[in-house]
């Protein structure tokens, strides 16, 4: 199989699986128990926290374990909005956020909060000026993702962070699920107050996520329980998954730079091959000569993530395309895996100004460390063949 | 100016007369140890000073470590050049140019140790000053309160030029003033007392009293972590004596003298510490007492408690306010560990109203009624567990699980 769906999930690293199994076998005591077994399990948690904090240049006390990216995003958005409601009622996010961010905002709207959904440009990027214009004295939270999970656009977090730096009463939440291990995540430098991450996007176990909460920030918890994780996220901690996740995150952050270089090169190759197929339209930033979309500047932050190529085949149902690729042992996806089973056009593509046909026919290729030139060439060849086969079947989506 | 050398000045130890050689030797050892992670840096020793040649190593990283070496009064990033007028003038301009911000006023202070140098100090002030003025037309000389004092030292081996003087930790090199036992409780004060004792050149061994199962394993790990931090400053492993105090403490709680129990405990702890001190040749006991802070730290309590032992009781914090102690603890990196919420044996069994004014005769009498007290003290000494804690000793946390899991 050629697995090109890394945005949805990544193959767990062998050393992560080994760690998880060993910890699971040896440390089954409840970390909240008073006895030695509990104390040892609790120490493993703290060491895992310290390892993660070290990887991101932060303090151990700023990291909390959750059940995954969705819970981290929910806890950050809802927890912050409710906690600081006495300061104000207005929240800002972007139109291209992941459902685990958008849905909590819709929930908050039903609770009476006012939410501004910022537009994006044709590449899927939010402008810092739009953030600035939307800010009011009532704004308590700005939530902008780092890398878009569908098209891979990269948001200008440094610029947004510096805007918010002058407004200590407005918190800055970042959904970092798709960016960790792919791009540098500079929490301190950007002034990030809250960040969500998910271990299975970096070769870690499923069902475990991270929430970064800058020291001093408070959150209203979503769950009531035994007071674990400082009461922010009660519930018995999943010790083996947490230890394995710490390893996965550390490895991902340590190898990020080297990975990005390699992947941008592969991305450029794939962009060139998609561009050569006239039926396909590329979505998102970057080009074959400039896969990072920096225009050759070394200082400029990239506009496109290194591991995602997204295109539309207007006139074709994307699931047909996906299944055709699958016949050739290639696994790709339509939009985000979380919402790929509904057949509505992509809200992200619509927000980027795509017409309905283009928005309803998106294909996402996302790759990882196991891919090299050979795999990319195989994929390119197959894309051409599949398009050739499907061409006679092209029809309007609405027929 | 890229710093190529650091001039290190020793502090109080220069008054030590005949012991000076000994002190300087210790200093060199300490600095060498500190430089171990920087293999290219080398040391040159001259009278009362050290010169560290960076040979490409990062100045900032070495400077950060130098600030923690006891016995260094100050240091300066310097530029070294040949002792020739033109080279000195050019280097002086370089040093001025490298300042983070151009000052408005400056002066030159030249020192001529190499008497064969053709110009005297006065002339040099003038000669160097005028070449700097030519390079910076906006600059003015102010001999009284200059913003920058450009120092030029003409030594036989070369001329050193610098303007910055960074204060060091001061004190004496570790272990040059003998050895003492530190009563290390796990609170905020005692690690700071230990730090100050070490800064005065004392080698320390730490004593910690625990009352397992009344105190937890985490309390012990907390103390190991504190000792580890202190070992960073000493540069070598610190002996940590872990004494089980459960039996003695339990005996005191049964004597029905609740308000005296802290006094009684302290006296027994001191006796045990003194016996341990005898065993290891320590000549004093350091504690984190601060006058008036708690009941056992009133003058009256300290009198009754202190009379237990013959060794000098050293209390570096005695006249210090709590806020100042906290600030010091933060600076030396022990505060965060100290405030971890684990019981130590003094916070257990604390009576509602401990005596602030105990009577020595009464206390002695109560002690005489405690069965087997001196035996228990001997047993506690005999049962002491001693561990060597070095900076590299993995803290409790880091020993969790296996290395390859993370």
Q: What is the mean pLDDT of residues A374-399?
A: 84
Is pLDDT at A281 greater than 60 in this prediction? yes
| B292–chain A Cβ distance below 8 A for any pair | no
pLDDT grade for A336, boundaries at 50, 70 and 90: low
Percent of chain B with pLDDT over 90: 66
Task: Give pLDDT tens digits for A349-368.
Answer: 999 999 999 999 999 999 99
**Whether B171 contacts B275, CB under 8 Å:** no
pLDDT grade for A398, boundaries at 50, 70 and 90: very low
Question: Average pLDDT over chain A, rounded to whole?
Answer: 93
Look at residues A365, A357, A308 and name the one whose alpha carbon lies nearest to residue A333: A365
Task: Give pLDDT tens digits for A282-295.
Answer: 999 999 999 999 98
Q: What is the mean pLDDT of residues B199-217?
A: 90
- Chain A hits for B400, CB-CB cut-off 8 Å, are 40, 43-44, 46-47
Q: What is the mean pLDDT of residues B13-20?
A: 64
Residue B303 DSSP symbol: H
The pLDDT of residue A388 is 93
Is pLDDT at B320 greater than 70 in this prediction? yes
Is pLDDT at A39 greater than 90 in this prediction? no
- Chain B hits for A19, CB-CB cut-off 8 Å, are 404-406
CB contact under 8 A, B406 and A22: no
Task: Give pLDDT tens digits for B324-351.
Answer: 999 999 999 999 999 987 766 656 667 7
Distance CA B122, CA A95 (A): 73
The pLDDT of residue A397 is 45
The pLDDT of residue B214 is 81
- Chain B hits for A243, CB-CB cut-off 8 Å, are 401, 405-406
Task: Give pLDDT tens digits for A89-134.
Answer: 999 999 999 999 999 999 999 999 999 999 999 999 999 999 999 9
Distance CA B368, CA B370 (A): 6
CB contact under 8 A, A51 and B406: yes
**Whether A398 contacts A360, CB under 8 Å:** no
User: Which residue in A has a C-alpha nearest to residue B405's C-alpha?
Assistant: A19
pLDDT grade for B2, boundaries at 50, 70 and 90: low
Q: What is the mean pLDDT of residues B85-93?
A: 94
Task: Give pLDDT tens digits for A245-266.
Answer: 999 999 999 999 999 999 999 9
- Chain B hits for A22, CB-CB cut-off 8 Å, are 402, 405
CA distance B335 to chain A (A): 15
> Is the alpha carbon torsion for B279, B284, B290, B296 positive or negative?
positive
Nearest to A50 among B397, B402, B404 (CB): B397
CA distance B397 to chain A (A): 6
Distance CA B240, CA B238 (A): 6
**Going by C-beta distance under 8 Å and a sequence separation of 6 or more, which residues neighbour residue B267?**
B304, B305, B308, B363, B367
User: Which residue in B has a C-alpha nearest to residue A242's C-alpha?
Assistant: B406
The pLDDT of residue A339 is 58
Token pair listed for A56: 């991101």
Side-chain half-sphere CA neighbours of B214 within 13 A: 17
Nearest to B400 among A19, A22, A40 (CB): A40
CB contact under 8 A, B401 and A23: yes
User: Which residue in A has a C-alpha nearest to residue B398's C-alpha?
Assistant: A47
Look at residues A163, A174, A164 and name the one whose alpha carbon lies nearest to residue A97: A174
Task: Give pLDDT tens digits for A200-224.
Answer: 999 999 999 999 999 999 999 999 9
Token pair listed for B388: 């060597």
ipTM of the complex in this document:
0.82
CB contact under 8 A, A47 and B406: yes
CB contact under 8 A, B406 and A23: no
| B401–chain A Cβ distance below 8 A for any pair | yes
Is pLDDT at B14 greater than 70 in this prediction? no
Side-chain half-sphere CA neighbours of B98 within 13 A: 18
The pLDDT of residue A349 is 94
Residue A380 appears among annotated catalytic residues: no
**Whether B150 contacts B255, CB under 8 Å:** no
pLDDT grade for B294, boundaries at 50, 70 and 90: confident
Q: What is the mean pLDDT of residues B223-245?
A: 92
Output the pTM of the full model: 0.70
Task: Give pLDDT tens digits for A138-181.
Answer: 999 999 999 999 999 999 999 999 999 989 999 999 999 999 99
Residues in chain B: 406
Nearest to B405 among A39, A46, A243 (CB): A243
CA distance B340 to chain A (A): 12
Is pLDDT at B1 greater than 60 in this prediction? no
CB contact under 8 A, B398 and A47: yes
Percent of chain A with pLDDT over 90: 87
Is pLDDT at A344 greater than 90 in this prediction? no
- Highest mean pLDDT out of A78-82, B209-213, B334-338: A78-82
Q: Which of A21, A39, A240 to mutate to test the interface with B (most CBs of B within 10 A)?
A: A39
Q: Which of A37, A41, A44, A55 to mutate to test the interface with B (most CBs of B within 10 A)?
A: A44
| B341–chain A Cβ distance below 8 A for any pair | no
Task: Give pLDDT tens digits for B140-165.
Answer: 999 999 999 999 999 988 999 999 99
pLDDT grade for A227, boundaries at 50, 70 and 90: confident
CA distance B406 to chain A (A): 5
- Chain B hits for A39, CB-CB cut-off 8 Å, are 216-218
> In B133-262, which ranges are E strands?
140-141, 148-155, 158-162, 166-167, 179-183, 203-210, 238-244
| B403–chain A Cβ distance below 8 A for any pair | no
| B400–chain A Cβ distance below 8 A for any pair | yes
User: Residue written as tokens 């006058």?
Assistant: B291
Is pLDDT at A378 greater than 80 in this prediction? yes
């Amino acid at each position: 199989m050629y697995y090109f769906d890394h945005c949805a999930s990544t193959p767990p690293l062998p050393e992560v699986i080994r760690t998880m199994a060993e910890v699971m076998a040896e440390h089954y005591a409840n970390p909240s128990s008073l006895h030695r077994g509990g104390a040892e399990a609790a120490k493993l948690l703290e060491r895992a926290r310290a390892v993660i904090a070290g990887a991101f240049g932060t303090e151990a006390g700023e990291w909390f374990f959750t059940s995954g990216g969705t819970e981290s995003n929910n806890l950050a958005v809802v927890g912050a909005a409710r906690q600081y409601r006495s300061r104000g009622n207005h929240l800002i996010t972007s139109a291209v956020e992941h459902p685990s961010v958008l849905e909590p905002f819709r929930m908050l709207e039903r609770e009476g909060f006012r939410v501004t959904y910022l537009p994006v440009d044709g590449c899927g990027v939010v402008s810092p000026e739009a953030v600035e214009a939307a800010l009011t004295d009532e704004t308590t939270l700005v939530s902008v993702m780092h890398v878009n999970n569908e098209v891979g656009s990269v948001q200008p977090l440094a610029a947004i962070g510096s805007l918010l730096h002058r407004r200590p009463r407005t918190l800055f939440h970042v959904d970092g699920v798709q960016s960790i291990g792919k791009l540098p995540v500079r929490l301190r430098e950007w002034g990030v107050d809250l960040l969500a991450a998910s271990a299975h996007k970096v070769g870690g176990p499923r069902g475990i996520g991270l929430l970064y909460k800058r020291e001093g920030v408070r959150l209203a918890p979503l769950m009531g329980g035994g007071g674990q994780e400082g009461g922010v996220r009660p519930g018995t901690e999943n010790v083996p998954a947490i230890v394995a996740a710490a390893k996965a995150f550390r490895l991902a952050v340590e190898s990020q730079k080297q990975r990005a270089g390699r992947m941008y090169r592969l991305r450029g190759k794939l962009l060139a091959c998609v561009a050569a197929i006239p039926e396909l339209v590329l979505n998102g930033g970057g080009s074959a000569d400039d896969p990072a979309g920096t225009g050759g500047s070394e200082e400029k932050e990239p506009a496109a993530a290194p591991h995602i190529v997204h295109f539309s085949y207007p006139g074709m149902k994307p699931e047909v395309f996906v299944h055709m690729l699958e016949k050739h042992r290639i696994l790709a996806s339509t939009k985000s895996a979380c919402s790929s089973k509904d057949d509505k056009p992509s809200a992200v593509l619509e927000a980027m100004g795509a017409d309905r046909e283009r928005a309803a026919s998106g294909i996402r290729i996302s790759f990882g460390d196991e891919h090299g030139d050979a795999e990319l060439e195989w994929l390119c060849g197959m894309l051409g063949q599949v398009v050739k086969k499907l061409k006679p079947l092209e029809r309007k989506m609405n027929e | 100016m890229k710093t190529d050398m650091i001039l290190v000045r020793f502090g109080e130890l220069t008054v030590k007369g005949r012991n000076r050689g000994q002190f300087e030797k210790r200093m060199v050892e300490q600095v060498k140890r500190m430089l171990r992670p920087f293999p290219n840096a080398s040391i040159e020793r001259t009278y009362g000073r050290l010169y560290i040649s960076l040979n490409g190593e990062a100045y900032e990283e070495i400077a950060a470590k130098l600030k923690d070496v006891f016995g260094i009064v100050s240091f300066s990033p310097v530029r070294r050049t040949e002792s020739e007028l033109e080279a000195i003038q050019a280097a002086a301009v370089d040093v001025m140019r490298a300042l983070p911000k151009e000052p408005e006023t400056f002066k030159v202070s030249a020192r001529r140790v190499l008497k064969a140098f053709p110009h005297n100090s006065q002339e040099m002030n003038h000669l160097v000053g005028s070449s700097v003025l030519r390079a910076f037309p906006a600059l003015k000389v102010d001999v009284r309160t200059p913003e920058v004092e450009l120092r030029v030292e003409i030594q036989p081996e070369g001329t050193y030029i610098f303007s910055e003087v960074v204060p060091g930790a001061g004190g004496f090199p570790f272990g040059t003033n003998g050895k003492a036992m530190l009563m290390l409780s796990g609170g905020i004060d005692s690690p700071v007392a230990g730090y100050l004792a070490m800064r005065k050149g004392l080698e320390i061994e730490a004593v910690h009293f625990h009352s397992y199962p009344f105190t937890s394993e985490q309390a012990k790990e907390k103390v190991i972590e504190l000792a580890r931090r202190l070992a960073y400053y000493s540069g070598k492993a610190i002996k940590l004596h872990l004494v089980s105090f459960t039996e003695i403490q339990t005996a005191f709680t049964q004597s029905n003298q609740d308000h005296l129990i802290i006094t009684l405990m302290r006296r027994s702890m001191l006796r045990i510490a003194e016996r341990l001190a005898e065993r290891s040749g320590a000549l004093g006991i350091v504690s984190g007492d601060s006058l008036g802070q708690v009941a056992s730290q009133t003058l009256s309590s300290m009198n009754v408690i202190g009379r237990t032992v013959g060794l000098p009781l050293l209390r570096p914090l005695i006249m210090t306010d709590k806020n100042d102690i906290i600030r010091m603890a933060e600076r030396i990196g022990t505060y965060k560990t100290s405030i971890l919420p684990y019981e130590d044996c003094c916070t257990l069994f604390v009576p509602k109203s401990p005596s602030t004014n105990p009577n020595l005769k009464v206390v002695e009498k109560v002690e005489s009624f405690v069965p087997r007290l001196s035996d228990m003290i001997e047993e506690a000494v005999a049962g002491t567990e001693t561990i060597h804690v070095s900076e590299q000793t993995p803290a409790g946390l880091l020993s969790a699980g296996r290395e390859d899991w993370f």
